Structure 1
Amino acid sequence: MGADREGRGRRRRMRVGAYVGCGAVLLAGCASMPDEGDLRGVESTPRQDAQVRVYALPPREDAPPSEIVGGFLEALTSDDPDYETARLYLAGKALSDWQPNASTTVLGEAPRARVEPRGTSEADGDFLYRLTGQEVARVDAQHAYEPADEAYNETVHLTRVKDTKQWRIDRLPPGVVMGESDFQRTYVSVNKYYFTSFARAGRLGTVADPVYVRREVDPVTRMVRALLKGPTRWLNGAARTSFPPGTALKKGVRSLTPDDQNKLVVPLNGKADHVTRGRCNEMGAQLLFTLRDLMPTGVDEVELQRSDGSQLCVLDEGEADNVASHGAGERAGYEYFVDGEGRLVRMPADGDGEPKPVPGALGTGDTEFRSAAVGRDEDRAAGVSKDGSEMYVGSFASGDSLGDPVVHSEGATPGDRLTTPSWDGRGDLWVADRNPSDPRLLVLQDGAGEPLEARTPELDGRIKAVRVAADGVRIALIVERKGKVALFIGRIERDSDSQGEPSVSIVELRSATPRLEDVTAMSWAGDSRLVVVGRESGGVQQMRYVQVDGSMPDGPQPAPLTGVKEIAASEDERLPLVAHSEEDGIVRLSSGSQWQTVVSEGTAPVYPG
């Protein structure tokens, strides 16, 4: 449990220069809590500098029950590694049984507390407080984040300890609870990395598994431990780890810190003692990719050790990139869009050059297109005809003809026909048919052959847009249901039916935009991040980054842009955003700049994928 509030007692700050910080902000255990009357929240703690650590103060002598509850909630928002100060507010079974790492419940605001007349008898040494609020998310024991929208209603019981005559908490809810602003200050989202079931360009493919860890509490060690435990539940089965089952840090290892050469030594238990050099390299690659995402400078080299302290293998960043194709793989050479003549055109991704038609039939204008998807190898593309009824696949080889359409829709209107297609990292091509009488999500293996209809047993609504991640494991769908349009992330499962024919299913759909009710456009913008255009209830259109787990990542958001119809981002976060604006045409946003017009006539901007 916890609270995000402005401490009303003693505070002291020390600013430090280390990466995770070593100074302290002392939080007083004396936040104001009502003994009776209306519900009250305790004001939220302002966002702290990333280099300031926050600690709580222990309970003071003869503190009343209200101060004990307030101090305990305050202590849970601190940076005590094992909640040592928070435990000073506990007694009895609460002290022995409380497991703060079991879960973290996030409320929209600080938990409100009031005395419950029932169950409270100060003369008998009993006080009961009720904690309430609106739950917006939960982080489970695997550190996985899940949005929520339900009332929070729990109780905290206090007793007067016989020996000391001090008030202490002896019954409390499991885990931790805090307000959203304290959660954003205290926790950071980091990607763990695992491998997919297929290779790309002769290298293993990776898939990101985002989790939340406490920002200032030994995040390196916590991320290594989380990585060793394997994928979170949602991703388990679609991703694999090269660490043998049961692999953990060697007994007695409490903290991992890179040395002054930016090398990290990771002592493992006996479960990994006999892995091959190749498998050890894969384990090292997982560590390097994960720590690269956690730390501003990453880790240059990892050394994995056996349980007897001998060296298992050493791997640096360059060797890790040879083991696995990390993220989007090769950097995109071009940005693409459909020009005013219905041709697929491209311009250099670095912004140095004018748009030109692509080689081959998709750039001639003989067939006019309204949208397209470019293969990740940038040697072919799929184009949807101007009326949305047909999809073609063509190469970028000069002189090649377009051939017959590979998909046809019978929808009555352009809006009821084919969506913009999307290529995954396996080279398969995806598109949705929005025909109300026959809605389908289709996949063409290697972009050719008879379309296979993907099963969507959990889908409740009509697909309006499709984007598949480079990992080939996750798919983003804009879905319309009962007048609301939201973004969902699904897991792709591939199998064979009883006749041995391939089958594909989209399972465990989850919302990535729980606070938006009208999503109009989206694109993958990183390994576990998307850029989304939408609006909140009663609000205006906005553009923002969201995580696949439905959380809002730290960092700046895109500059505002009006009238956005389509958006394109690369999973390589170094490349600029490209958008189609009703007012300005095709526009581009480079890092730290404002939107700039590329051409006044054009639609459907895309990067490879």
Structure 2
Amino acid sequence: MTRAAYRRRAARSATAAIVVLAVLVLAGCARIPTSGQVLAGESEQQESDQSYSFFPDAPRDGMSREEIVEGFLDAGTGTQNDYEVAREYLADSYRQEWDPNARILITASVPDVVDAGPDSIQASYKSSASVDSEGLYSELKSGTTERLEFTLAQDSAGEWRITEAPPGIVLLSQNFRSLFKSYTLYFYDDTLSRLVPDVRWFDAQQTALTRIARALVNGPAPWLAEGNVVSAIPSGVSLLGAVTVEGDVADVDFSSSLSSTSPDQYSRMLLQLTESFADFEAITSVTMSITGVPIDQELPPEDEVVVNRQVTSTPLVYKSGELGFLGGVNVTASPETAALQGALASLSPQKGAYSADGDVASFVTPNGVFTTPISDPEPLLVDARPGPLAMSLDSWGYTWTGSTDGPGLRATDVEDRQHSWLEPAENVGATGYRAIAVSRDGARLAVLENSSVGVRVAVMAIEREPSTNRPVALGVPLVLEPGGASPVDLAWVDETSLAVLAVGSEGTAEVRTQTVGGTVSVNGAVLDGQQITGSNTPAGLRVLDKDHHIYVPKGNRWQQSDAVVDFILTQV
């Protein structure tokens, strides 16, 4: 079954509350405006959707040591036949030892190649990013210089060949985006009831399926594993050979140690593989085998595992005391939001978040953060720390709060009114938080954190108590580098990307989209933008300016709508 088919099933299992709320405003859904101010921005580092083949030159007779190294580095674009051309630059005894998949160094310029001794050559690069053997992408600090050392010797014919080289390849950024593609792999949260995405980068051609399957066997990215994100594939199981494709069916063959696994685990493995292979449009189904013997297994029932949790795409707003869904310029209240309005009357809310599944709504007010059940509104003060407070809700019903002055975060359950006090597993210099956002799978926390070097964007895993889903720990922060001026807000765009609103000296707020585990793009700007909220896709992003006008994306521009509201609530 394809990802689209499975997610259609998942969408049908969304809560009745979301369905009812969406229907109430169906006739007046917010439209894409065709008038008003438009601000554009340049796109950078756009990922290519098309794979290319390069055909680098093989070595010629009489090449110097420097030319051999330069030719070898250029041949990193020739991925065909396991880098056959690049291996021709290596000594016969070293050709099979060199591992091209160990690392990709991404650079914006050609190398500076210099003589480093009688049998040595050094190549220096200004590098921007790297990809490791598991396909994990990492930004490097601006201005990072990588120096690669090569040892050479003459063969029996007197030709120079490389006898020792750093593992991996070096690619110009544009060549990297042509040859490699980002794939969304999926693992499970520790309840095995939700899939958690993990972006990897692999060759856009024939080896990607096998490398994806091997990555699923090896487990999630280390920073996700700190939150007990796991693979359904048991430890000790190995992949046997390459993934095979016949027609539109991909088969993954595992070692005999898988034979003792339960049917439920087989089912979750099949879903994990199916979703992780979904970027391959030609593959419509996946099968599994144990040492070549097929396993007869179905996907889990639709209500057992949540795949890419969705919310209603219609903006939920607060406007002049009214809480409801926006249709054009009108706010339509549902029974749930109408009940909340009465509870909010005395709070003067400034920001809000809403979780229909968690039956919780939370609001930032001048007197602190309040949270309340949606079904029976009774606001509870959960954080009264002085100063501006950042707030987020998660889909398990916990309200998260952080102060601009202090590294700790608080997570509160509205039902038992118990707090969890959480700090990142490793102190990377955070002194407070401007904005926080829990992903809808509940496994990841994104933050805008104050630090001695300015405002940074970071993501970390959330570890939860298995029996209650209470947050009990945070992993080591993965610091991202979206660039831009001063970030003021952030939101989840979809399951793998964050939108960061960054204000420059002229008051123009750029929208920068950062894939967690990938690249950055600049998606236009809004003058005096102050708040950004997400939905399910990039088209669901909304920006609010200082005069409370709503802007919607229109291509790589932002179009001012006719709607004016106090704030837009984040739905989780």
If the TM-score is normalised by the length of the shorter chain, which range does it land in?
A: 0.7 to 0.9
Residues 293-372 of structure 1 mapped to structure 2, 5 A cutoff: 294-295=279-280, 297=281, 299-307=283-291, 309-315=292-298, 321-328=302-309, 330-332=310-312, 334-339=314-319, 341=320, 343-347=322-326, 354-357=330-333, 358-362=337-341, 365-372=345-352
The question of 1:566 aligning with 2:531 is answered: yes
* Partner Cα separation in structure 1 for residue 202 and residue 75 of structure 2: 17
* Partner Cα separation in structure 1 for residue 246 and residue 528 of structure 2: 47
* Partner Cα separation in structure 2 for residue 581 and residue 538 of structure 1: 14
The one-character-per-residue Cα deviations of 1:26-50 (angstroms, maximum 9, x if unpaired) are xxxxxxxxxxxxxxxxxxxx99882
Which residue of the partner structure matches residue 11 of structure 1?
A: none
Q: Tell me the secondary structure at the aligned position of residue 235 of structure 1.
A: helix
Name which structure has the greater RCO, CA cutoff 8 Å, separation 6+.
2
Which residue of the partner structure matches residue 255 of structure 2?
A: 269
The question of 1:209 aligning with 2:198 is answered: yes
Instruction: Give the AA of the match of 1:552.
Output: T
Which residue of the partner structure matches residue 130 of structure 2?
A: 138
Q: 1:343, CA displacement in angstroms?
A: 4.5
Which residue of the partner structure matches residue 19 of structure 2?
A: none
Instruction: Give the AA of the match of 1:450.
Output: Q
TM-score under structure 2 normalisation?
0.82
Residues 387-402 of structure 1 mapped to structure 2, 5 A cutoff: 387=366, 389-397=367-375, 400-402=376-378
Q: 1:539 to 1:225 in 2, by over 3 A?
A: farther
* Partner Cα separation in structure 2 for residue 418 and residue 57 of structure 1: 59
Q: Which has the higher helix share?
A: 2
Q: Tell me the secondary structure at the aligned position of residue 198 of structure 2.
A: strand
Which residue of the partner structure matches residue 433 of structure 1?
A: 403
Q: 1:536, CA displacement in angstroms?
A: 8.3
**Contact 1:258 1:299 survives alignment (8 Å):** no
Q: 1:403 to 1:235 in 2, by over 3 A?
A: closer
Q: Tell me the secondary structure at the aligned position of residue 527 of structure 2.
A: coil
TM-score under structure 1 normalisation?
0.77
- Pick from 147, 150, 160: which aligns with 1:153? 147
Q: Tell me the secondary structure at the aligned position of residue 101 of structure 1.
A: coil
Q: 1:527 to 1:114 in 2, by over 3 A?
A: same
Instruction: Give the AA of the match of 2:474.
Output: I
The question of 1:597 aligning with 2:567 is answered: no
- Pick from 222, 232, 235: which aligns with 2:211? 222
Residues 127-526 of structure 1 mapped to structure 2, 5 A cutoff: 128-149=120-141, 150-161=144-155, 163-198=156-191, 204-237=193-226, 238-250=228-240, 253-257=241-245, 259=247, 262-292=248-278, 294-295=279-280, 297=281, 299-307=283-291, 309-315=292-298, 321-328=302-309, 330-332=310-312, 334-339=314-319, 341=320, 343-347=322-326, 354-357=330-333, 358-362=337-341, 365-377=345-357, 379-385=359-365, 387=366, 389-397=367-375, 400-409=376-385, 411=386, 416-419=387-390, 421-434=391-404, 436=405, 440-445=408-413, 448-456=416-424, 457-460=426-429, 461-482=431-452, 484-494=454-464, 504-513=472-481, 515-516=483-484, 518-526=486-494
* Partner Cα separation in structure 2 for residue 501 and residue 267 of structure 1: 34
**Contact 1:258 1:264 survives alignment (8 Å):** yes
* Partner Cα separation in structure 1 for residue 147 and residue 437 of structure 2: 39
RMSD: 3.1
Instruction: Give the AA of the match of 1:59.
Output: P
Q: 1:505, CA displacement in angstroms?
A: 2.5
Q: Please, which runs of 5 or more residues in structure 2 have no aligned partner?
A: 1-45
Which residue of the partner structure matches residue 114 of structure 1?
A: 114
* Partner Cα separation in structure 1 for residue 550 and residue 505 of structure 2: 28
Residues 528-547 of structure 1 mapped to structure 2, 5 A cutoff: 528-534=496-502, 541-547=509-515
The one-character-per-residue Cα deviations of 1:44-90 (angstroms, maximum 9, x if unpaired) are xx998825322323212333333322221111122224111101001
Instruction: Give the AA of the match of 1:429.
Output: T
Q: Please, which runs of 5 or more residues in structure 1 have no aligned partner?
A: 1-45, 121-125
**Contact 2:543 2:550 survives alignment (8 Å):** yes
**Contact 1:284 1:320 survives alignment (8 Å):** no
Q: 1:291 to 1:590 in 2, by over 3 A?
A: farther
Q: Tell me the secondary structure at the aligned position of residue 273 of structure 1.
A: helix
**Contact 1:106 1:178 survives alignment (8 Å):** yes
Q: 1:592 to 1:447 in 2, by over 3 A?
A: farther
Instruction: Give the AA of the match of 1:562.
Output: L
Instruction: Give the AA of the match of 1:242.
Output: A
Q: Tell me the secondary structure at the aligned position of residue 234 of structure 2.
A: coil
Give the number of the structure whose alpha-carbon radius of gyration is greater. 1
Q: Tell me the secondary structure at the aligned position of residue 194 of structure 2.
A: strand
Q: 1:103, CA displacement in angstroms?
A: 1.7
Which residue of the partner structure matches residue 27 of structure 2?
A: none
Q: Tell me the secondary structure at the aligned position of residue 84 of structure 1.
A: helix
Which residue of the partner structure matches residue 19 of structure 1?
A: none
The one-character-per-residue Cα deviations of 1:493-515 (angstroms, maximum 9, x if unpaired) are 3469xxx9977222211212253
* Partner Cα separation in structure 2 for residue 258 and residue 585 of structure 1: 53
**Contact 2:380 2:414 survives alignment (8 Å):** no
**Contact 2:317 2:566 survives alignment (8 Å):** yes
* Partner Cα separation in structure 1 for residue 493 and residue 560 of structure 2: 19
**Contact 1:381 1:395 survives alignment (8 Å):** yes
* Partner Cα separation in structure 1 for residue 539 and residue 180 of structure 2: 27
**Contact 2:552 2:560 survives alignment (8 Å):** yes
The question of 1:606 aligning with 2:563 is answered: no
Instruction: Give the AA of the match of 2:127.
Output: E
